[in-house]
Structure 1
Amino acid sequence: MAAVQATEDEITPLLTDGAAIAAINSPTSLVISGDEDAVVRIASAMEEQGRKTKRLTVSHAFHSPHIDPMLDEFHTIAAQLTYQEPTIPVVSTLTGRQATGDDLRTAQYWTDQVRGAVRFADATTTLATLGTTTIVEAGPDGVLSSMVQNTTDTITTIPLLRRDRPEADTLVTALAQLHTHTTLDWQNYLTGSGAKQVDLPTYAFQHQRYWLDAPTTKGDATDLGLTNTNHPLLGAAMAIADRDEYVFTSRLSLHTHPWLTDHTVADTVLLPGTAFVEVAVRAAQHVGAGGVEELTLAAPLVLPERCGVQVQVVVGNADESGRRTLQVHSRPDADGDDS
């Protein structure tokens, strides 16, 4: 048996007496079954067209001519069983349509089910047409759920179990997901699991928050008689009244600039050297200088874990060539605490 990425119309002309379509899982995914050489030949032809194929690990070539020798015995045993009218609607994967009670109460129906192709895609389409919005997959994994999603986008699928995941956790998670789509009999579930319902507390729920606080909004520097720099590292600028000098001020902290924690050296957060360059360039642009000719870092700027750092950038007078000096000063807040 082999899974093949192809449509039924594409595979049907390639079938021989020794091979058959075992299942149609979605409009473009099916399984072929039968003689090994015939199955390999068909799969290889699809691979040459760039289609995906996968050989299945199975004990028999189910739903193929290899099943024919056991059909008579199967039919005889099936005829001895007593069948009852189904209590819920049943969509048949043999026909892809909703089955009647008469269909399901015959031995021939179940014999044909063993031999015929599993028309899962057609059954999924019928369920969608009937108004089904949620399907619960009761099986060892979510294989059928993915097939449904590949067939229609109007049905939500919820597998009860997933491979290599704890069964109890996966089951309860699936029930929680199902609870958001329909009404569940939680009392029945809780009784079976040994749990019990309790009354909600009469006081407000207590919450523990895990998300980061948004950075605080800075005030408008113009209200303080300063010039707004519109720069994340420089809050405001001020021209000295009696001389051609400028002072830029700002405040940095891990609360207002959380991205600075990415530059940690020996468990200490330092302002990156590139940030000093950025500050110097922005200050130069503000005073009309062409750029930064040389910048020497005398000492690192350490950002405390809890409080902030006040920063001043001083730009000196222009000399005869138009060059200016630039100094960056910093000091921790006197009693600031951002926690």
Structure 2
Amino acid sequence: AAVLAERGVKTRRLTVSHAFHSPLMDPMLDEFRTVLASVAFAAPAVPVVSNLTGEVASAEELCSPEYWVRHVREAVRFADGISTLQEQGVTRFVELGPDGVLSAMGADCVEDGVFVPVLRKDRDEAESAVTGVAQAYGHGVSVDWAAYFAGTGIGAGARRVDLPTYAFQHQHYWLKSRAGSANVASAGLSPAVHPLVGAAVSVAGGDEVLLTGRLSVQSHPWLAGHAVGGTVILPGTAFVELAVRAGDQVGCGRL
């Protein structure tokens, strides 16, 4: 403990009745072996990585009383077990225990593993369990949500819904139209009947006339042929044509 304290490692005394996995267990091994001889064992339904060997245990090992006698006495090969699981492609670990101690230890054994404890000390059990399930789901673990909502009182009404759009996922509601294709008369304008001008309107309170239009390579593809240094520029002749059209609108025949 003194050496650990010098290295800055946090330690605490365990509140247990026996010093498991140590020589202090030797006096009870024979009696423990006798009790195990009366126990009926069955082969596991899922693969089990042994803390005794650090490898996948066989059914013969797990059904043997002697295996469990050794388990009480010998060291825990936790790091070896985690490495074995990692070698078999396991990247997500769920801790079914009273706290997250093993998850913290496991994170020190592998760099790219995800460790999810379902219970945490001094936290609400139901909330911790659901948080663990959600965390596992966020890392790709399949969750039976129908079973989760069953019997909760809202299961009958629970259904999948689309998530709301994010702020950067813009959804526009304006009608898409090209210049000159809309009914400008409904907006109080007069059609200009010209390929470069969309509409004309007399300005209120004076004799001025305003001509409007939209020019782009989408509405006028030929503009792309007049580029300088990679930038599309409206030709000077187009400016002349706009001025001539404006003169025609107000009866001015000179440029």
Shorter-chain TM-score tier? 0.5 to 0.7
| Cα offset, 1:200, TM superposition | 4.4
Q: Relative to structure 1, is the Cα distance of residues 63 and 190 closer, same or farther in structure 2, using a 3 angstrom cutoff? A: same
| Cα offset, 1:205, TM superposition | 6.0
Is 1:57 the equivalent of 2:19? no
2: CA distance, partners of 1:109 / 1:98: 13
2: CA distance, partners of 1:190 / 1:200: 12
| Cα offset, 1:96, TM superposition | 0.7
Q: Relative to structure 1, is the Cα distance of residues 104 and 195 closer, same or farther in structure 2, using a 3 angstrom cutoff? A: farther
Q: Relative to structure 1, is the Cα distance of residues 100 and 195 closer, same or farther in structure 2, using a 3 angstrom cutoff? A: farther
2: CA distance, partners of 1:190 / 1:179: 15
Q: Which residue of 1 aligns with 2:159?
A: 199
User: Does the aligned pair in 2 maintain the 1:134–1:156 contact within 8 Å?
Assistant: yes
Q: Which residue of 2 aligns with 1:185?
A: 144
Q: Relative to structure 1, is the Cα distance of residues 175 and 78 closer, same or farther in structure 2, using a 3 angstrom cutoff? A: same
2:72 to 114, 135, 140: 114
For structure 1, which segment, 185-194 or 62-71, has the greater mean C-alpha deviation from structure 2 after superposition? 185-194
Q: Relative to structure 1, is the Cα distance of residues 90 and 193 closer, same or farther in structure 2, using a 3 angstrom cutoff? A: farther
Counting aligned pairs with the same residue, the percent is: 42
2: CA distance, partners of 1:183 / 1:193: 20
**Deviations, residues 47-70 of structure 1 (Å, cap 9, x unaligned):** 55x353624233332211111111
**Deviations, residues 229-267 of structure 1 (Å, cap 9, x unaligned):** xxxxxxxxxxxxxxxxxxxxxxxxxxxxxxxxxxxxxxx
Alignment of 1:284-299 (within 5 A): none
Q: Relative to structure 1, is the Cα distance of residues 195 and 76 closer, same or farther in structure 2, using a 3 angstrom cutoff? A: farther
Q: Which residue of 2 aligns with 1:292?
A: none
In proportion to residue count, which structure has more strand? 1
If asked which structure has higher relative contact order (CA below 8 Å, sep 6+), I would say 1
Q: State the Cα RMSD in Å.
A: 2.4
One-letter amino acid of the counterpart of residue 146, structure 2 = Q
User: Does the aligned pair in 2 maintain the 1:128–1:154 contact within 8 Å?
Assistant: no
Is 1:103 the equivalent of 2:61? yes
1: CA distance, partners of 2:108 / 2:129: 23
Q: Relative to structure 1, is the Cα distance of residues 148 and 194 closer, same or farther in structure 2, using a 3 angstrom cutoff? A: farther
2: CA distance, partners of 1:82 / 1:152: 36
| Cα offset, 1:74, TM superposition | 0.9
One-letter amino acid of the counterpart of residue 137, structure 2 = H
Q: Which residue of 2 aligns with 1:161?
A: 119
Is 1:71 the equivalent of 2:12? no
1: CA distance, partners of 2:43 / 2:93: 22
1: CA distance, partners of 2:146 / 2:89: 27
2:52 to 94, 113, 120: 94
2:91 to 124, 128, 133: 133
> Secondary structure, in 3 states, of the residue corresponding to 2:150?
helix
> Secondary structure, in 3 states, of the residue corresponding to 2:20?
coil
1: CA distance, partners of 2:121 / 2:85: 26
| Cα offset, 1:166, TM superposition | 1.7
2: CA distance, partners of 1:129 / 1:69: 38
2: CA distance, partners of 1:178 / 1:46: 33
**Deviations, residues 148-167 of structure 1 (Å, cap 9, x unaligned):** 00000132100101112222
| Cα offset, 1:169, TM superposition | 1.6
Which entry has the higher C-alpha Rg, 1 or 2?
2
| Superposition TM-score, scaled by structure 2 size | 0.58
2:104 to 146, 149, 164: 146
- Structure 1 gaps of 5+ residues are 1-42, 210-339
- Structure 2 gaps of 5+ residues are 168-255
| Cα offset, 1:191, TM superposition | 2.1
2: CA distance, partners of 1:154 / 1:64: 32
One-letter amino acid of the counterpart of residue 155, structure 1 = G
Q: Relative to structure 1, is the Cα distance of residues 92 and 194 closer, same or farther in structure 2, using a 3 angstrom cutoff? A: farther
| Cα offset, 1:76, TM superposition | 1.0
**Deviations, residues 24-76 of structure 1 (Å, cap 9, x unaligned):** xxxxxxxxxxxxxxxxxxx335555x353624233332211111111111111
Q: Relative to structure 1, is the Cα distance of residues 194 and 137 closer, same or farther in structure 2, using a 3 angstrom cutoff? A: farther
2: CA distance, partners of 1:173 / 1:167: 10
Is 1:85 the equivalent of 2:43? yes
One-letter amino acid of the counterpart of residue 199, structure 1 = R
User: Does the aligned pair in 1 maintain the 2:4–2:11 contact within 8 Å?
Assistant: no
